[in-house]
Structure 1
Amino acid sequence: MRRQLLWLRSDLRVHDNTALAAAAQAGPVIACYLLSPGQWRAHDDSPNKVDFWLRNLQALRHDLARLNIPLLLREADTWGQASEVLLQLCQTLGIAAVRVNEEYGLHESRRDEAVKRRLAEAGVGFHSHLDQLFFAPGSLLTRGGTYFQVFSQFRKLCYQRLASALPACLPAPPAQAPLDVASDPVPEELPGFAPSAAQAREFWPAGEKAAGERLAGFAEDDLAHYHERRDRPDLDGTSQLSAYLAAGVLSPRQCLHAALANNRGEFESGGPGPVAWINELLWREFYKHILVGFPQVSRGRAFRAQTEALPWRHAPADLEAWQQGRTGFPIIDAAMRQLLATGWMHNRLRMLTAMFLSKNLLIDWREGERWFMRHLVDGDLAANNGGWQWSASTGTDAAPYFRLFNPLAQSRRFDPHGRFLRQWLPELAQLDGESLHEPSRLGLFGAPGYPAPMLDLAASRERVLEAFRNLPGAESAQASTASRRSEGDA
Structure 2
Amino acid sequence: MRLIWFRNDLRLSDNPALRHGCASDEPVAALFIISPTQWRQHKMAPIRQRFILAQVDELGRELAALGIQLHLLRVETFAEVPAALADLCRELGVTQLYANQAIELDEQRRDHAVTAALAEQEVSCHWLNGCCVLPPGRVLTGGREMFKVFTPFSRAWLKALDEDGFVIHRAPAPRGEPLPWQPLAERASVDEGIGELTPDPRWPVGEAEALRRLHAFLDQGVLDYGETRDFPALAGTSILSPYLAAGIVSPRQCVAALQQRLGGRPQSKAQPGFVWLNELIWREFYRHLLVLIPTLSMNRPFKPETAALPWSWDPDAFAAWCEGRTGYPIVDAAMRCLNATGWMHNRLRMIVASFLTKDLHIHWRLGEDYFMSQLIDGDLAANNGGWQWAAGTGADAAPYFRVFNPTTQGQRFDPQGEFIRTWVSELADLPATHVHQPHNWLRLKGRQDYPAPMVDHAVARVRAIEMFRDLEKQ
TM-score by length of 2: 0.95
Cα deviation digits, residues 378-419 of structure 1 (max 9, x gap): 000000000000000001111101111111111111111111
Match of 1:395 in 2: 394
1:157 matched to 2:164:
no
Q: Is the 8 A contact 1:260 1:274 kept in 2?
A: no
1:82 maps onto 2:94 in alignment: no
Partner SS, residue 148 of structure 1: coil
Question: 1:193 aligned to 2:166?
Answer: no
Rounded to whole Å, the distance in 2 between the matches of 1:148 and 1:113 is 25
Q: CA deviation at 1:354?
A: 0.3
Percent of pairs with identical residues: 45
What amino acid maps onto 1:18 in structure 2? P
Question: Matches of residues 5-84 of structure 1 in structure 2 within 5 Å?
Answer: 5-26=3-24, 27-84=26-83
> Which residue in the other structure is 1:462 paired with?
462
Output aligned runs, 1:359-438, within 5 Å. 359-438=358-437
Write the letter of the residue equivalent to 2:466: E
User: Gapped runs of 5+ residues in structure 2?
Assistant: none
Distance, in Å, in 2 between the alignment partners of 1:192 and 1:332 is: 33
Q: What RMSD over aligned residues (CA atoms) do the two structures have, in Å?
A: 1.9
Superposed displacement of residue 182, structure 1: 5.9
C-alpha contact (below 8 Å) 1:72/1:183 kept by paired residues: no
* Superimposed CA distance per residue, residues 267-300 of structure 1 (whole angstroms, 9 cap, x where no aligned partner): 2158745101110111110001111111111110
- Cα deviation for residue 203 of structure 1 reads 2.0
Cα separation, 1, equivalents of 2:461 and 2:192? 43
Give secondary structure in 2 for the equivalent of 1:203: coil
Q: Which amino acid aligns with 1:459?
A: V
**Bigger mean CA deviation after superposition, 44-53 or 309-318:** 309-318
Match for residue 231 of structure 2? Answer: 232
Distance 1:114 1:254, change over 3 A: same
User: In structure 1, how many angstroms separate the alpha carbons of the residues matched to 2:378 and 2:156?
Assistant: 27
Kept in 2: contact 1:229–1:237 (CA 8 A):
yes
State the one-letter code of the partner of 1:352.
Answer: I
Once the 2 structures are TM-superposed, how far is the Cα of residue 202 of structure 1 from its aligned partner?
2.3
Q: Is the alpha carbon distance of 1:87 and 1:182 closer, same or farther for their aligned partners in structure 2, counting shifts above 3 Å?
A: farther
Structure 1 residues 132 and 382, CA gap change in structure 2 (3 angstroms): same
**Contact 1:360/1:460 (<8 A) preserved:** yes
**What's 1:449 paired with?**
449
SS in 1 for 2:201: helix
The secondary structure found in structure 1 opposite 2:111 is: helix
Whole-Å separation in 2 of the counterparts to 1:163 and 1:363: 43
**Cross-structure match for 2:145:** 146
Task: Give the AA of the match of 1:170.
Answer: H
SS across alignment from 1:34: strand
Does the residue aligned with 1:85 lie in a helix, a strand or coil?
Answer: helix
Deviation readout 1:211-239 (Å, 9 max, x if unpaired): 11111111111111111100000001000
Please state whether the residue corresponding to 2:29 is helix, strand or coil. strand
Q: Offset of 1:166 from its aligned partner?
A: 2.1
Residue deviations 1:24-44 (CA, integer Å, cap 9, x gap) = 113222111011011111111
Q: Post-superposition shift, 1:261?
A: 1.5
Asked if structure 1 preserves the Cα contact closer than 8 Å seen for 2:139 and 2:160, the reply is: no
Is the contact between residue 258 and residue 273 of structure 2 (CA under 8 Å) also seen in structure 1?
Answer: yes
Q: Is the 8 A contact 2:35 2:76 kept in 1?
A: yes
> Is residue 264–residue 270 contact of structure 1 (8 Å, CA) maintained in 2?
no
- Provide the C-alpha distance between the structure 2 equivalents of 1:417 and 1:191, rounded to a whole number of angstroms: 46
Q: Distance between the aligned counterparts of 2:275 and 2:471, measured in 1? A: 34
Residue 263 of structure 1: CA displacement?
2.0
- Corresponding residue SS for 1:471: helix
Q: CA deviation at 1:472?
A: 3.5
1:354 aligned partner: 353
Q: Which residue of structure 2 lines up, in the alignment, with residue 337 of structure 1?
A: 336
Give the Cα–Cα distance (whole angstroms) in 1 for the partners of residues 447 and 51 of structure 2. Answer: 37
In structure 1, list runs of 5 or more residues that go unmatched: 475-490
Higher mean displacement: 160-169 or 99-108: 160-169
1:136: Cα distance to partner? 1.8
CA offset at residue 312 of structure 1? 0.9
- Superposition TM-score, scaled by structure 1 size: 0.92
How far residue 183 of structure 1 moved from its aligned partner, in angstroms, is 4.6
Q: Could you say which residue in structure 1 is the equivalent of 2:438?
A: 439
Q: Is the 8 A contact 1:73 1:186 kept in 2?
A: no
- Compute the displacement of 1:192 (Å): 4.0
Q: Secondary structure at the match of 1:306?
A: helix
Taking a change above 3 Å as real, the CA distance of residues 385 and 195 of structure 1, as seen in their structure-2 partners, is farther
Alpha-carbon contact 1:48-1:195 (below 8 Å) kept: no
Structure 2 contact 267–274 (Cα < 8 Å) conserved: yes
Contact 1:36 1:78 in 2 (8 A): yes
Give the Cα–Cα distance (whole angstroms) in 2 for the partners of residues 388 and 95 of structure 1.
Answer: 42
Cα pair distance change 1:177/1:425, threshold 3 Å: same
What SS is found at the alignment partner of 1:434?
Answer: coil
SS at match of 1:435: coil
The answer (yes or no) to whether the contact 1:327–1:451 under 8 Å persists in 2 is: yes
* Count of aligned positions: 469
Deviations 1:26-64 (CA, angstroms, capped at 9, x unpaired): 322211101101111111111111000011111111211
SS at match of 1:319: helix
Q: Distance in 2 between matches of 1:194 and 1:335?
A: 26
Any conservation in 1 of the 2:10–2:59 contact (CA below 8 Å)? yes
| 3-state SS of paired residue (1:326) | coil
Deviations 1:466-490 (A, max 9, x none): 111000468xxxxxxxxxxxxxxxx
Match of 1:291 in 2: 290
Q: Indicate if the aligned counterparts of 1:328 and 1:452 stay in contact, CA closer than 8 A.
A: yes
The residue type equivalent to 2:405 in the other structure is N
Q: Structure 1 residues 473, 208: closer, same or farther in 2, change over 3 A?
A: farther
After superposition, the C-alpha distances for 1:247-272 in whole angstroms (9 at most, x for unaligned) are 00000011001111222212215874
Q: Distance in 1 between matches of 2:300 and 2:79?
A: 23
Asked if structure 2 preserves the Cα contact closer than 8 Å seen for 1:39 and 1:79, the reply is yes
- Provide the C-alpha distance between the structure 2 equivalents of 1:252 and 1:19, rounded to a whole number of angstroms: 15
- How big is the shift at 1:185? 3.8
